């Protein structure tokens, strides 16, 4: 087989991790593939292409990336085209020559996608019209405003709609790259890449951009922070609102109001997400039976565990374990 050409399109002031992270995933996947199959060719040819006439792209942190191509000089077939995010996309989105090239390229590539705010360039070219897409949560509302024909979902870390892929911020680009490697070369190799790069997990595309524990760190109320810490240590217990309120020294009604105001979620939903995150880690890091995870994380039953996983992560717990850790479901 001829190597598949993976092109990263980057504009000036691109976010360096939007390029370097997923770029490295594909390169390392190719390295490991030829180690496993010495008689076969490298499966990927990974290319950085500038959105301007210059091959060098200065990133928004000041470091320069020098590619071998500009979008004008690219020749040959492109298998996968990924647009990196960054503050320079505002100017790129007004370049009619670039937008026309993107429209033409989209008809020829097997896959096209964006990392973080790269979705704005795809949207400017009309390539997200009629599609479901995501981007960094901070810019999701603006993307929806600019691309009214796109259904923008700010929660998932990445979304696939047909052959179009869009991702949330920065590290989600590596999650997408691993998912694409899995599509092309299989789960065992994708897992090997994840371990080589010391990536914590190949996350499901439907997984939320938001960490429940991190969301509470935005609160400056000592009682709310203490509840977060205490709840994490007592997930095996029943944690109704009145019990949490008592720990915070507040009435249930006032606690629920303050909690929602500070965190943007209800105490019940917060506890559910904490339980799901704890169970997710257990599924990733251990071979514990689902029954033990249910007990230790306070779900009450496997049915409740399954419903919570579907609601929060959009995947059943057994499938989550088998697909994203390589361990058998049980």
Query: Which of 128, 33, 32, 115 minimizes the C-alpha distance to 81?
Result: 115
Q: What is the largest CA-CA distance in the chain?
A: 69
- Cβ–Cβ < 8 Å for 3, 41: yes
Ranges of beta strands (E only) in the chain are: 4-10, 44-50, 56-58, 64-66, 69-70, 80-83, 111-114, 132-133, 151-152, 158-161, 164-167
Give the mean model confidence (pLDDT) for residues 172-185: 92
What whole-number distance in Å separates Cα of residue 109 and Cα of residue 157? 23
pLDDT score, position 214: 47
- Residue ranges, comma separated, of all CATH 1.10.10.60 domains in the chain are 212-324
Q: 93 or 323, which is more confident?
A: 93
What whole-number distance in Å separates Cα of residue 296 and Cα of residue 222? 27
pLDDT of residue 119 exceeding 90: yes
Catalytic residue check, 116: yes
pLDDT one-digit tens code per residue, 120-167:
999 999 999 999 999 998 899 999 999 999 999 887 888 999 999 999
Residue 51 in tokens: 């959105």
CA angle 84, 86, 90 (to 5 degrees): 110
CA angle 120, 121, 126 (to 5 degrees): 95
Question: 212-324: which CATH number, 3.40.50.720, 3.30.1330.40, 1.20.840.10, 1.10.10.60?
Answer: 1.10.10.60
pLDDT score, position 220: 60
> What are the residues whose beta carbons fall under 8 Å from the beta carbon of 325, sequence distance 6 or more?
191, 201, 283, 284
pLDDT score, position 38: 94
Give the mean model confidence (pLDDT) for residues 104-133: 97
Sign of the CA dihedral 30, 62, 86, 218? Answer: positive
pLDDT score, position 319: 83
What whole-number distance in Å separates Cα of residue 85 and Cα of residue 168? 10
pLDDT one-digit tens code per residue, 35-91:
999 999 999 999 999 999 999 999 999 999 998 899 999 999 999 999 999 988 989
Residue 265 in tokens: 């979620």
Sign of the CA dihedral 158, 116, 92, 69? Answer: negative
Which region among 17-31, 199-213, 250-264, 284-298 has the lowest average model confidence (pLDDT)? 199-213
pLDDT one-digit tens code per residue, 273-321:
889 988 987 887 788 899 999 999 999 999 999 999 998 877 889 887 7
258-to-24, 264, 267, 295 alpha-carbon distances in Å: 44, 10, 10, 30
Q: Locate tokens 């704890």: which residue?
A: 278
pLDDT one-digit tens code per residue, 5-29:
999 999 999 999 999 999 999 999 9
Q: How confident is the model at residue 204 (pLDDT cuts 50, 70, 90)?
A: low
- Give the three-state DSSP class for 13: coil
pLDDT of residue 212 exceeding 60: no
pLDDT score, position 181: 94
- Cβ–Cβ < 8 Å for 175, 157: yes
Fold of 4-196: Rossmann fold (3.40.50)
- Residue ranges, comma separated, of all CATH 3.40.50.880 domains in the chain are 4-196
pLDDT of residue 238 exceeding 80: yes
Q: 5 or 208, which is more confident?
A: 5
pLDDT score, position 163: 95
- Partnered with residue 14 across adjacent β-strands are 86
Q: List the catalytic residue out of 25, 57, 116, 157.
A: 116
């Amino acid at each position: 087989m001829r190597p598949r050409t993976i092109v990263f399109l980057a504009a000036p002031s691109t976010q360096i991790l939007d390029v370097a992270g997923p770029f490295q995933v594909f390169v390392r996947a190719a390295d490991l593939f030829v180690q496993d199959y010495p008689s076969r060719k490298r499966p990927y040819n990974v290319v950085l292409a500038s959105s301007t006439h210059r091959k060098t792209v200065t990133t928004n942190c000041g470091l320069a990336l020098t590619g071998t191509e500009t979008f004008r000089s690219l020749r040959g077939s492109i298998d996968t085209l990924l647009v990196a995010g960054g503050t320079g996309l505002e100017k790129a989105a007004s370049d009619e020559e670039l937008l026309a090239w993107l429209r033409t390229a989209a008809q020829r590539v097997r896959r096209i996608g964006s990392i973080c705010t790269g979705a704005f360039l795809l949207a400017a070219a009309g390539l997200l019209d009629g599609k479901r897409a995501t981007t960094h949560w901070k810019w999701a509302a603006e993307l929806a405003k600019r691309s009214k024909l796109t259904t923008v979902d700010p929660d998932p870390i990445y979304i696939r709609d047909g052959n179009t892929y869009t991702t949330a911020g920065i590290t989600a680009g590596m999650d997408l790259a691993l998912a694409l490697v899995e599509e092309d070369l299989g789960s065992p190799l994708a897992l090997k890449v994840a371990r080589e790069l010391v990536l914590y997990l190949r996350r499901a595309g439907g997984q939320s951009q938001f960490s429940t524990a991190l969301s509470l760190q935005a609160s400056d109320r000592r009682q709310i922070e203490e509840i977060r810490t205490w709840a994490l240590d007592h997930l095996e217990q029943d944690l109704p609102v009145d019990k949490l309120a008592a720990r915070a020294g507040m009435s249930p009604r006032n606690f629920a109001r303050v909690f929602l105001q500070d965190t943007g979620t209800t105490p019940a939903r917060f506890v559910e997400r904490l339980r799901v995150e704890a169970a997710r880690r257990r599924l990733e890091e251990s071979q514990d039976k689902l029954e033990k995870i249910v007990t230790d994380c306070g779900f009450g039953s496997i049915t409740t565990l399954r419903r919570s996983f579907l609601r929060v992560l959009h995947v059943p717990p057994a499938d989550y374990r088998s697909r994203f850790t390589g361990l058998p479901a049980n």
